[in-house]
Structure 1
Amino acid sequence: MDEQLLAGPDGEPCLRFDAPVSRGTLRALVAERQRQLAAAGLGEQGTVALRMPPSAEFVAVLLAAWRAGARAVLLDHRLTAAEVDRAVSRLRPRVLVELADGRPRFRSLPAAPPDPEAVAGPATSHHHALIQLSSGSTGPSKVIGRTAGDLLRELDCYARLPEFPARGERTVLLSSTVHVLGLVGGLLHALHAGVELVVPQRMTPAGILTSVADGAAPTTVIGVPFHAELLAAAAAPPQLPQLRRMVVAGELIRPGLPAAFRERYGVPLGTMYGMTETGVIATDLTGRHHPALQPVHGMELSLSAGELHITRAHSPYLGPTDPTRWSDGSLHTRDAALLDAGTGRVTVLGRRDSQISIGGLKVDLNEVEQTLTGLPGVVEAVVVFADGAIEAYAATADGASRAPSERDGAAEQLRELLGRELAGYKLPRRLHVMPQLPRTATGKLLRDVAALRRQVDATR
């Protein structure tokens, strides 16, 4: 901790949330929070759950837990009390830390024996430093453990990327620090590499652009495709000579977004592919090879029946290992992909389970979704298969200003346009135009059919 994340001159700026935080201030804050965690009953190899919004206090408590030799469970601060109770019951932390009136509140929880279905995980000598829940965009969250070695390996991968922020530069972080891109690619890399991390107070185009403009150092913006869509649509953005690039990850981007972003800001929209289980897997930070990505240092990829597999000696999942997710030293991503034997680059095509059969004819839902997203006016789309039929949900640039009856007409127009691009058996039986599509806490498009249908009902 002291060598990898906290080292540096006392006066060096390292964090900016609502106010700047120097390295010396952060070190003092970490030491104080470490004493408070110990007073609350957290010992070495104990477990602390953090339910805190992005803040200097979140960073201090997380680093204090690791400095004490404990494991940290990260819970999104937007979870309801009932969801937090379920997570606590499942993961059994010794201390729960929440933010109240800008200060951390330490709550000691009853001691409980290790739960082999949760934190303890499969028999292994590895000590998990970090426990995360997967995004849950397609179903219940999985419990994923990562060791200190895992995190150091990922930080080394970022350090080897010449286009990624380096000492003396700035990162404007839009992704959640609870999830892997924002946590490791944003927060931990910034502390490790001597990069100032800035988190905007308002996640609006104006708030984000103001955060970029407020510093003179070369600046990289890190977020999800939704954030890039917001910025690409911003009206008359200011001149930003310090902006180097934006980097997005989390889901496939629509085909025209990189060009639209470059046209608006004159810098590339880089892309990354990763998973909570492994962190960053492959990148194209220059935007020159999109949609192909170059695997990061040491990442071994292979294909099995068109599915991307990643070599990994141990299962990242806590509890009994699901052989459909990890087996025989391979992590099964459930993503379809192509591997270029000449360059080693990987092109991720989308979910492996997107292949369905309609009347004996094969349909790739990824193809339908990408085609729908590419239609004029469509900014985002989700295509699912439910009750024996294809359903599509789309948000358009002017969707928020349309009445429900007008959205029905827009849906028919989109279906007609889609029919010019795709065979009839590939067309959605139902197509809904909505003001916006529901997303997970990490900004990923939600693909749960029941939730999508509830959103349609709510918009009416």
Structure 2
Amino acid sequence: MFNLAMAVSHTAQTRPHRLAVVSAEESWTFAELEDHIRRAAGGLRNAGLMPGDTVALSLPTSPEFVVSYYAVLRAGLTVAPMAPYSSAREVRHALGTCGARALVTLDGSRPEGSDDLTVLSLSGLVEHSADDGAESLTARSPEDVAAVIFTSGTTGAAKAAQLTHWNLWMSCTALLSRSQPTADDVVLASLPLHHVFGMSGLMNAAMTWGMTLVLQSRFEAAEALDLIEEHRVTRFSGVPTMFLDMIRQGVGERDLSSLRHVTSGGSALPPGVLEDFENLIPSATLLEGYGSSETTSSVCVNSSRARRRPGSVGTPSWGTQMRVVSDDGTPLPPGPEHVGELQICGPTVFAGYAGDPDATSAAFDGDWLRTGDLAWITPDGYVHLVDRRSNMIIRGGRNVYPAEVEHVLTSHPDVAEAVVLGQPHERLGQEIAALVVPRRPTAELSTPDRTQLLETLDQHARQELAPYKRPRQTHLIDSLPRTAAGKIIRPAARSLLAERTVDPA
């Protein structure tokens, strides 16, 4: 018998009075959390759901999410967390894709788009538990699908990635063990729990290792810093925009000396952010990593301050292999001159896409997951991401990787973020354009200030980039469109660019 819900049960037995979950409204020990989970699992069984059925969640980052998630697993069901703010179209697509038989919400209200699906409230499940939740965990095998995670859908309709109990267990043990976790750690979860980074990298990891999980329903920099001080948080994970916001906010009079282990993912960390954040909180070490829904969150990371490599996302976790291959699938040797598609093989690689065998087949090269990311690897195994293959711009027959140009733009001290996109060009095929977020709000920049900044950035690009890589159009904006997980939504960015662009032909 193997069921990820054992993570909570084990700590409830060994450290029942250890604080498990903390929110602005309530706090539960592991014994109290286990009791809620057992009762909710009993309610799910009483509702007629059978092992293997899929139950969707439409819940905010809250103790109720934690209870519902593990109750679904405990009952032998498959959990499918959805963003609670999804549109009716997104709800219909998600529920249809994962084949959900029921949906759990806070109060049992029916989200628009859920049609005739059975909708359950968490309180109702607990109150109508068949036997006060006294039943033991439902036996599952490591290969059984535990969770269905909806991909970010930044370039199209979201797919439903199926993660097994074994995938999830290995994700929060093999990788996290490199950072010497202890049961006395306190984790701040500001990332949404319906996303794989928050679900696997934070919630599952905290419950597996017996850590205290402090929940922030929605990230806000000042509140996050307050929570770190109040609860003596030792671990925090986020996306680059979070660290930028915290740096802008400043520490003030807070004592944040408890914070020691910090990880960044979701997108590339802009130059200077690591140093600025560690200057802000000297006790903390900020480490960059890499992962995806299909790899059950992080699959490689820089393991320590002493061993990290600037510009690298680190080395693979235990049991994971990574390689880069050419367009014809030939494995490439190490070195920056050998850029190819990054492929991954290991215990956290997903089982496939629910209801989409064609997409599943296309995602694999034998046992290797095709990531769609371009990368190169050092002789000693450090992975350097170059860009998404689909983001590559071909200008006059030459390949331009937007991530390289973005790195140069964000290395300027007046720039917080940037996205680089290809624009149609009659002669060259594509031309380079950029959307730039200044460190100062655009409302504070006079017309001369804007003109000077644009001229300065053009000169900076001329110094740092080959001529064919230099943006020919640069526009200043206040923020970039992002998913809840911090990834740039490129179609939305293209729309913003189109509103500001003159015909480059």
Q: Of 77, 101, 104, which aligns to 1:97?
A: 104
Does the 8 Å contact 2:54/2:77 carry over to 1?
A: yes
Correspondence 1:10 to 2:25:
no
Q: What are the superposed Cα offsets for residues 131-156 of structure 1, whole Å, 9 maximum, x if unpaired?
A: 01111233332221011111112122
Distance 2:387 2:400 in 1: 13
Instruction: Report % sequence identity.
Output: 27
Distance 2:397 2:469 in 1: 12
Q: Of 18, 27, 44, which aligns to 1:20?
A: 27
Does the 8 Å contact 1:440/1:446 carry over to 2?
A: yes
CA distance 1:383–1:108, shift in 2 (3 Å) = closer
Does the 8 Å contact 1:438/1:452 carry over to 2?
A: no
Structure 1 segments unaligned to the other structure (5+ residues): 112-124
Distance 2:65 2:412 in 1: 41
Q: Of 66, 72, 75, which aligns to 2:82?
A: 75
1:175 alignment partner AA: L
Does the 8 Å contact 2:421/2:494 carry over to 1?
A: no
CA distance 1:362–1:289, shift in 2 (3 Å) = closer
Q: What are the superposed Cα offsets for residues 41-89 of structure 1, whole Å, 9 maximum, x if unpaired?
A: 4221111111110111111111111111111111111212332122223
State the secondary structure of the residue aligned to 2:474: strand
State the secondary structure of the residue aligned to 1:156: coil
Does the 8 Å contact 1:272/1:285 carry over to 2?
A: no
CA distance 1:83–1:245, shift in 2 (3 Å) = same
Q: Of 352, 360, 377, which aligns to 1:316?
A: 352
Q: What are the superposed Cα offsets for residues 372-400 of structure 1, whole Å, 9 maximum, x if unpaired?
A: 11123111111112323222111111134
Instruction: After TM superposition, list the pairs within 5 Å mapping 1:41-440 onto structure 2.
Output: 41-100=48-107, 109=116, 126-163=143-180, 165-201=181-217, 203-216=219-232, 219-237=234-252, 238-266=254-282, 267-279=284-296, 280-287=298-305, 288-292=308-312, 293-305=314-326, 306-311=340-345, 315-318=351-354, 319-322=356-359, 323-341=361-379, 343-387=380-424, 388-402=430-444, 409=451, 410-440=453-483
Does the 8 Å contact 2:262/2:286 carry over to 1?
A: yes
Distance 1:392 1:150 in 2: 38
1:401 alignment partner AA: A
Does the 8 Å contact 1:137/1:447 carry over to 2?
A: yes
Distance 1:347 1:444 in 2: 18
Distance 2:447 2:411 in 1: 23
2:471 alignment partner AA: P
CA distance 1:404–1:317, shift in 2 (3 Å) = farther
Distance 2:406 2:422 in 1: 12
Does the 8 Å contact 1:175/1:182 carry over to 2?
A: yes
CA distance 1:364–1:423, shift in 2 (3 Å) = same
Q: What are the superposed Cα offsets for residues 186-236 of structure 1, whole Å, 9 maximum, x if unpaired?
A: 0011111010011235622220111111124x6111111111111222234
2:247 alignment partner AA: A
Distance 2:262 2:372 in 1: 27
CA distance 1:310–1:93, shift in 2 (3 Å) = same
Does the 8 Å contact 1:159/1:193 carry over to 2?
A: no
Please, which moves more after superposition, 72-81 or 352-361?
352-361
Please, which moves more after superposition, 82-91 or 244-253?
82-91
State the secondary structure of the residue aligned to 2:490: coil
State the secondary structure of the residue aligned to 1:214: helix
Please, which moves more after superposition, 310-319 or 218-227?
310-319
| TM-score of the two chains, using structure 2 as the length reference | 0.80
Per the TM alignment, residue 429 of structure 1 is displaced from its structure 2 partner at its CA by 3.2
CA distance 1:192–1:315, shift in 2 (3 Å) = closer
Per the TM alignment, residue 447 of structure 1 is displaced from its structure 2 partner at its CA by 1.6
1:320 alignment partner AA: P
CA distance 1:90–1:378, shift in 2 (3 Å) = same
| TM-score of the two chains, using structure 1 as the length reference | 0.88
Please, which moves more after superposition, 49-58 or 370-379?
370-379
Does the 8 Å contact 2:52/2:78 carry over to 1?
A: yes
CA distance 1:30–1:109, shift in 2 (3 Å) = farther
Does the 8 Å contact 1:399/1:407 carry over to 2?
A: no
Does the 8 Å contact 1:40/1:95 carry over to 2?
A: no
Q: What are the superposed Cα offsets for residues 312-336 of structure 1, whole Å, 9 maximum, x if unpaired?
A: 5875323123354212111011112
1:447 alignment partner AA: R
Does the 8 Å contact 1:232/1:260 carry over to 2?
A: yes
Distance 1:202 1:361 in 2: 42
Structure 2 segments unaligned to the other structure (5+ residues): 119-141, 327-339, 425-429, 501-505
Distance 2:166 2:32 in 1: 27
